[in-house]
């Protein structure tokens, strides 16, 4: 079962119970484009610990 399939099943079960999900907090093992894209459809606040990411910023002024 893929990471995306696991997340889909968990979300399905949570919603079937009538529960609301406000933040989605995931382990770094679930950090993937597919999982983030799937969760973004629900407008969740998504928190995933990510290592070795460089954030590039530009001055716009």
pLDDT tens digit string along 25-57?
A: 888 888 888 998 998 888 878 887 777 766 666
Which has more confidence, 24 or 61?
24
User: Is residue 26 in some structural domain?
Assistant: yes
Instruction: Look up the pTM and report it.
Output: 0.71
Number of domains in the chain: 1
Tell me which residue range forms the domain holding 26: 3-47
User: Is residue 8 in some structural domain?
Assistant: yes
Pairing of strands 23-25, 45-47: parallel
Q: Provide CB contacts within 8 A for 31, sequence distance 6+.
A: 48, 50
Q: Provide CB contacts within 8 A for 24, sequence distance 6+.
A: 39, 42, 44, 45, 46, 47
3-state secondary structure of 4: helix
């Amino acid at each position: 079962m893929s990471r995306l399939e696991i997340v889909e099943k968990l979300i399905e079960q949570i919603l079937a119970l009538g529960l609301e999900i406000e933040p989605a907090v995931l382990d770094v093992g679930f950090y993937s484009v597919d999982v983030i894209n799937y969760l973004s459809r629900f407008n969740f606040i998504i928190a995933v610990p990510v290592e070795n990411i460089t954030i590039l910023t530009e001055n716009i002024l």
